[in-house]
A and B are shown apart, each in its own frame.
Chain A
Amino acid sequence: MEMKWKIYFTVVGIVALLMVGYETNVWANLTSSESETQVKRIENPEVDASDITPPEEKLKEQVAGGEFTVINKNKDMNSSEVVKEEKQKETGIVPANIQIPAIDVNSDIESVGVLDNGQMGVPEDPDKAGWFEPGTEPGNTGNSVIAGHVDSRTGPAVFYDLDKLEKGDEITVTDQNGEKKTYVVQKLESYPEKESPIGRIFGPTDEKRLNLITCTGEFVRYQGGHQDRLVVYSTLKEAEKEKSDIKAPTNIEVNGSLVTWYAVRKDYVAGYRVYRSKDGEEFEKVASISNHERKAYSDPEAAQYKYYVTTVALEGNESEPSKTVSFK
C-alpha cells in the first residue's frame, strides 16, 4: 500500500512539474532565437544603477566624432525653460498614421487616454495603434507615446515585429494633413509589466522622443496575458541645417595672444572651429572650442596670423567663415 502511494505522488509530481514547465516555457530561452533582437530585458529598472540615467540625459555628450562636448546642465532655469516654451509653438502634430518601413508597419492611429483601472488605453482594433493623447504631441519636446498590440486572439497584430527593430531604424508619424515627423530608434528595452519605469516612458524630458509600447515575453493566461512590456525609445530626427542656416560668429578680434568672438546664441550650436593662416590664402584649423567653453583661443604667435572662426551645428554641419581678422 505504502509503495503504491509513493509511486502515485511521484507520478503526479512529475506530471505537475512538466505542466508548470510547459506553462512557463523554461526551454524557450534555450531554443528560441531571441538573441537576434536588440531588446534588452531589465528586471528591475528602478534600481538598475547603470540605467537610471538614460544615455540621452547624461551630463555630457560627445558630438561631431568627439570634437565637441555638449554639456547638458540646465542648472540655470531661466534659459532652458524659456526656450522650451518657445519651441513648443505649433510644432507638434496629432498623429493619424504610423509607418515603420523596417518591419512593414503602415497603420492608422487612434487617440487613447487612461482607462478606469489606471492603464493606458489601447484601440479595440488589433491593427491600429493608439497615441496617448493626454501626453506630448509628436514633434514637441517630451515623451510622445504610441502603444499597439503584439497579437490578437487569432494572430499577429500591428506591433508584432516591434522587437525586431534596430537602433537607427526610422519611424514616421503623419497627421491628417500629411505633416510628417520622423523619429530614429535609439534603444529597445523590456520590463516586467508591473516594474515598468512609467516616469521614464511618459514623464518629462528635454528631448523630443517617441516611445512605442507593446507586449512581449511569454503569454501566461492565468496571469492575464503577456508578462513583459517592450518599449522602443526613439528621438526626433531634426531637419539637417543647411550651411547658410548656421550663423557664423561675429566680432572676431585678436588682442595680444587672444582670439575672441561673440557666441552664436542658438540651440543648434555644438561649438566653433578656429582657423589661421600666415598668407591669408591657405587656412588651417587650429582649435575646436565647445559651446560651453570660453569663446577664446590663445595663441602666443597671434600677431603673425590671420584668423577666422566658424560655427559647428550639433549635426556636424559648419557655417561659412566669419570675417577674417588679424592683430590690429
Chain B
Amino acid sequence: MKSLKKILIIMMAILLLAPSAALADNHGDTKATVKTPAADLRADLDKLLSEHFVLATTFMMKSYEDAEDAEQVWNKLDQNAQDMTPAIASVYGEEAAAQFEDIFRGHNDYSDDFVKAAKNDDPEARKAAEQEVEEFVNEFGAFLSKATEGNLSEEAAQKVLAAHEEDVINVFDHYVNEEYQKAYQSFREGFHRMFDISKALSTAITTQMPDKFEHTKADAKAADLRSNLNALASEHFALATLEMQKGFNQSPDYDFVTWAENEHTKDFTATIESLYGEEGAEQFEKVWQQDHITAQSDIVTATLESNEEARMDAEESLKMFAEDFGTFLAAATEGNLPQQAATEAVWTHEEDVLETFDHYAAEDYEAAYNSFREGYGFMFGIGETLGDAIAKQMPDQFANDQMPEEMPDTGMGGMSGAGSLSAWAWAAFGILALLSGGVLYRKKSNQ
C-alpha cells in the first residue's frame, strides 16, 4: 500500500516535469530568488504582524471564557510586540523604535478592555474601548507615515489599521454572539489582511531606503510568492493548534475551526494549482488531507478517549505525511527542494504541533505557548525555503526584474531650466503608479 502510494507520487512528479522541461534552458538562473533583503524585511513583518493578530484574537476568546491559559497568551502577545522593536530599530534607529514600542505595546491593552466590556455587558466601557482604538489608529498611522517619510501615506496607513482593528473586534463579537462561522470567517480575513499591511509597509520602507535593501523590492513577484506561502503555512499552524485545543475542550466552536481549516485547504490547493496546474493541485490536496489534517484531529480524539494505541497510529500517520509531502514537494519543485530536507522540515512542523498540544493537554501553558511561538515562526522558514525552490524552478515567473536602476542620462539639460522639477515629476509618477497598483491589487485580492 505504502509503495503503491510512493509510485503514484513519483508518477505525479514525472507528469509535473513534462511542462517545465520546455523551460529547462532557463535553469540555473540564480537571479530568481525569494531571499532578498527586501523580501526578508517583508517576511519578518509578515511573521510578527500575523502572529500579533492570532495572539490578540486568541487572547480575547480565552479571556472571555476565563480560560486558564489566557494569561500565558497575554504574555506572548506582549512578547510579540516587544519582538517588533529590534526590527523597527534596525531600520529607523533606537529612538523611533522606542516610540513605536510605546504606541504598539500599549494598544494591546485595548483588547482586554473589549473583553471586560463584553463580560460586564457594559456599553459605556465598550464605547471607551472603541474610542481608544480610534486614537491608536490615528496615532500609529501618523507614526508610520512620518517614519516612512510619506511613502506610506497617513491616510492609507490609518485606513488599513482601522480595518485590522475591525477584524479583531469582529472575530471577538461574533465569538461572543456564538456566531462561530462568521467568527472564523473574520479570523481568516483578518489574518490575511496582516500580510497586506506587511506588504504595504515593507514596500514603503524599501522604497524609502533603496540602498539599505540593495535595491531589491518588497513587492517583487518572488517576494509575493514567499509571502503567499508564508501566509498559507502559518495559517495552517495557527488553525491546527487552535483546532486541537478546541477539540480537546469540546468547545462549541470546535467544528467551526475545522471548517476554517477546510477552507484553508481550498485556498492552498488553489495556490498550488496556479503554480503546477490542476493535476498538481489534485495531488497536493490528497497528500495534504491524507494522514495529516485528520491525523492531527485523531491525536485529540485519542487523548480524549485515553487511547494509547490510537495515539501511536495517529503519530505514524503524521510521519507518513511528512514522508509523502516531502516527496511531493521535491517532485513538484524538481528537486530544487531536496526530498530529505523537505521531509525533515515537515516533520519538525508536526512535532511543533504535537508539542504545543501535549503541553496544553498537560496544562503546562507556558510551555505550550513557547512551542506555539516556535512552531509559528518555523512556518516562515518553510515559506522561504519552498518559495526559493519554486522561484528557482520557474525563473521566468519569479526572476527579479532585470531593469536598470536608473534611466539613461540622455540629455545634458541645456534646453530645460528646471531639470530637477522633471525628476520630481518622474518620482511622483512612480509613487502614484505603485500606490494605485497596490490599491488595485488589494481590491482584487479582497474580492
Task: Decide: A296 and B301 in contact? CB cutoff 8 A.
Answer: no
Residues of A within 8 A of B304 (CB): 60, 71, 73, 292
Distance to closest chain A CB from B383 (angstroms):
22
Q: How many A-B residue pairs have CB under 8 A?
A: 82
Write out the residue numbers on chain A whose beta carbons fall within 8 Å of the beta carbon of B266: 255
- Are A257 and B286 closer than 8 Å at their CB atoms? yes
Chain B: minimal CB distance from A265 (Å): 8
- Residues 278 to 328 of chain A near chain B (Cβ within 8 Å): 290, 292-296, 298, 300
Residues of A within 8 A of B305 (CB): 60, 69, 71
> How many B residues are at the interface, by size bracket?
20 to 34
Interface string of A67-90 (1 = CB under 8 A from B): 001010111111100000000000
Interfacial chain A residues near B65, Cβ < 8 Å: 76-78
Number of interface residues of A (CB under 8 A): 27
- Please name all residues of chain A whose beta carbon is closer than 8 Å to the beta carbon of B288 when the two chains form the complex: 256
Q: Is B170 interfacial (CB 8 A cutoff)?
A: no
Cα(A311)–Cα(B288), bound, Å: 27
B-side contacts of A298, CB under 8 Å: 289-290, 294
Q: Given the known A-B contacts A71-B304, A296-B258, are A256 and B294 also in contact in the complex, defined by CB atoms under 8 Å?
A: no
Q: How far is the CA of A182 from the CA of B266 in the complex (A)?
A: 50
A256: which B residues are within 8 A, CB to CB?
Answer: 265, 269, 282, 285-286, 288-289
Q: Are B252 and A295 in contact (CB under 8 A)?
A: no
Taking chain B's interface residues, is the majority helix, strand, or loop, or is none over half, making it mixed? helix
Q: B249 within 8 Å of A by Cβ? A: yes
Residues of the A chain whose Cβ atoms lie less than 8 Å from the Cβ of B75: none
Interface residues of B in 284-298 (CB under 8 A from A): 285-286, 288-290, 293-294, 297-298
Residues of B within 8 A of A260 (CB): 258-259, 262
A79-B251 CB under 8 A given contacts A71-B305, A257-B289, A300-B290 = yes
Say yes or no: A76 contacts B285, CB within 8 Å.
no
- Tell yes or no: B30 within 8 A of A by CB: no
Of B250, B289, B293, the contact of A292 (CB 8 Å cutoff): B250
A258 at the interface (CB under 8 A from B): yes
A78 touches B252 (CB 8 A): yes
Give chain A residues whose Cβ lies under 8 Å from the Cβ of B282: 256
Contact for B247 among A257, A265, A294, CB less than 8 A = A294
CB distance from B29 to the nearest CB of A (A): 33
Q: Which chain B residues lie closer than 8 Å to A145 at the CB level? A: none
CB <8 Å contact, B258 and A295: yes
Q: Are B293 and A258 in contact (CB under 8 A)?
A: yes
Cβ-based interface call for A22 (8 A): no
Q: Is A263 on the interface with B (CB-CB < 8 A)?
A: yes
Interface residues of A (CB under 8 A from B): 60, 69, 71, 73-79, 253, 255-258, 260, 262-263, 265, 290, 292-296, 298, 300
Pull 19 A–B residue pairs with CB atoms less than 8 Å apart, ordered by A.
A71-B250, A71-B304, A73-B249, A73-B250, A74-B250, A76-B249, A76-B252, A77-B65, A255-B262, A256-B265, A257-B285, A260-B258, A265-B252, A290-B301, A292-B247, A292-B301, A292-B304, A294-B300, A298-B294
Known pairs A257-B286, A294-B243 / 18 extra A-B pairs, C-beta < 8 Å = A60-B306, A69-B305, A71-B304, A73-B304, A75-B249, A76-B250, A257-B285, A257-B290, A258-B293, A258-B294, A260-B258, A263-B255, A265-B252, A292-B304, A295-B255, A298-B289, A300-B286, A300-B290
What are the 7 tightest A-B residue pairs by CB atom distance, in nearest-first order?
A256-B285, A294-B297, A263-B255, A258-B289, A298-B294, A79-B252, A76-B251
